[in-house]
Homo-oligomer: A and B are copies of this chain.
Amino acid sequence: MTAPAGFKANGIRCGIKESRKTADLALIVSETPCTAAAVFTGNLVKAEPVKLSMEHIADGKAQAVIANAGNANACTGKQGYENAVRMAKSVSEELSVPVNDVLVCSTGVIGQQLNIEAVEKGMKELCSGLSVQGHIPAREAILTTDTVYKEDEIRVDIGGHTVTIGTMAKGSGMIHINMGTMLGFITTDCAISSAMLFSALKESAAATYNCISVDGDTSTNDTLVIMANGLAGNPEISDKGSGYKTFCAALTELNERMARKIAADGEGAERLIECCVAGAADDRAARTLAKSVVSSNLVKAAFFGRDANWGRILCAMGYSGAGFSPDKVCVSFQSRAGDIEVCRDGSQIAFDEDRASEILNEKEVRILVNLKDGHGVGKAWGCDLTYEYVKINGDYRT
């Protein structure tokens, strides 16, 4: 997260929620003002910090992101919005950064007022501790039901200059197609115009974050932010030429890695399910079909039981809305343990059920679907549906 030049971070426990014993407040700051872009939840019910951050990023600029866990500050009305403003102001005053260059993100329970006094009280400690190493407490401070932190980086050459992109994110419930991460942060030292940055973020998110599903619920707080401070010294990317293509490909690869991590750490998940659809009429149809498969509760429950129930895969594709020929579909399962074909031309073929269970017993399992209808390809990621998911969500607030 702080691998690109000029970025620092920190994370502390300020005490937003008494029962939470780990860090709950994270800050990411660039030494210099950044070009910035963000995509937010499509949910009509938007959390108060989302509303504020949408205003602050409207000018395509930002320099700091403050994020808390333990409280989503959603469905909290005027007081909630005021609290989001106070969070931004507190950072602005401490760091002497314009208030509208501070973005605010929150995650946690919906409908309760944020303990803003705790946030303000912790701000001096949070800011004074900013450092390159601070990405370690920061990546912990944004987690909720996540069992592991998610952080990664990638380097790429643009115009003879090494450009670095760093990222951290949190999952792990209320995650569905169309902004599947509650919070995702990306930093880069790339020199890139605001328009190109937004374009690259949207393009890469469409193929990655927007293709994961944990439970079919789109959260009120989803935010994916990228800040680019230009310190890599590359010639500024201002059109969709080769520099843009290189940057966008690297960003997509990085986001795909993170999307996989989030799906794998879905609430209660025991395994990552990757669905790869090939031979569709076009890429759009392939992606729609793959998303429908990883979103199906019945497919997810079957994977929990290591049951090669391919009929549910065809069923989930059938109600996706995308067209295909059911009698041409071929389905295989693949993992580190090997691969096995289970359906050819829409019908079952003889296969060894025990061998299939072995293959499905791995931590990462791939569903390969070939539609033999065209050249469209698409991928999506999800996880199995477990007792633990039900347990976690049966009593989340207490």
Report A's interface with B, CB cutoff 8 A: 42-46, 72, 74-77, 80, 109-112, 173-174, 176, 215-220, 295-298, 301-302, 304-305, 307, 309-312, 314-319, 323-324, 326-327, 343, 345-348, 385-387, 389-398
Query: Please, which residue of chain B has its CB at the minimum distance from the CB of A110?
Result: B311
Residues of B within 8 A of A391 (CB): 387
* 22 CB < 8 A contacts A-B: A44-B326, A45-B317, A45-B318, A72-B311, A74-B311, A76-B348, A80-B347, A111-B343, A216-B216, A217-B297, A217-B315, A218-B315, A220-B318, A297-B297, A297-B389, A301-B392, A305-B394, A307-B394, A307-B397, A385-B393, A386-B390, A389-B390
Contact of A394 among B75, B217, B301, B347 (CB under 8 A): B301
Query: Please, which residue of chain B has its CB at the minimum distance from the CB of A385?
Result: B390
Query: Please, which residue of chain B has its CB at the minimum distance from the CB of A309?
Result: B397
- Which secondary structure characterizes the binding site on chain A? loop
Q: Are A110 and B315 in contact (CB under 8 A)?
A: yes
Residues of B within 8 A of A312 (CB): 110, 217
Contact of A316 among B217, B307, B316 (CB under 8 A): B217
Residues of B within 8 A of A311 (CB): 72, 74-75, 109-111, 220
Residues of B within 8 A of A174 (CB): 298, 315
Quote the shortest CB–CB distance from A4 to chain B (angstroms).
33
Quote the shortest CB–CB distance from A124 to chain B (angstroms).
31
Quote the shortest CB–CB distance from A144 to chain B (angstroms).
13
CA distance A269 to B396 in the complex (A): 19
CA distance A362 to B45 in the complex (A): 29
Interface hub of A219, A296, A297 (most chain B Cβ within 10 A): A297
Given contacts A44-B323, A318-B45, A319-B43, contact A298 B393 (CB under 8 A): yes
Q: Are B389 and A301 in contact (CB under 8 A)?
A: yes
Contact of A395 among B75, B305, B348 (CB under 8 A): B305
Interface hub of A42, A173, A218 (most chain B Cβ within 10 A): A218
When A and B form their complex, which 6 residue pairs have the shortest distance between CB atoms, in order from nearest? A110-B311, A305-B394, A45-B318, A301-B393, A43-B318, A111-B311
Interface hub of A75, A110, A304 (most chain B Cβ within 10 A): A75
Given contacts A111-B310, A390-B387, contact A345 B305 (CB under 8 A): no
Q: Are A398 and B307 in contact (CB under 8 A)?
A: yes
Given contacts A77-B346, A77-B347, A393-B305, contact A298 B215 (CB under 8 A): yes
Contact of A301 among B43, B46, B390 (CB under 8 A): B390
Q: Are B387 and A112 in contact (CB under 8 A)?
A: no
Query: Please, which residue of chain B has its CB at the minimum distance from the CB of A308?
Result: B397
Query: Please, which residue of chain B has its CB at the minimum distance from the CB of A177?
Result: B319
Contact of A219 among B43, B46, B76, B315 (CB under 8 A): B315
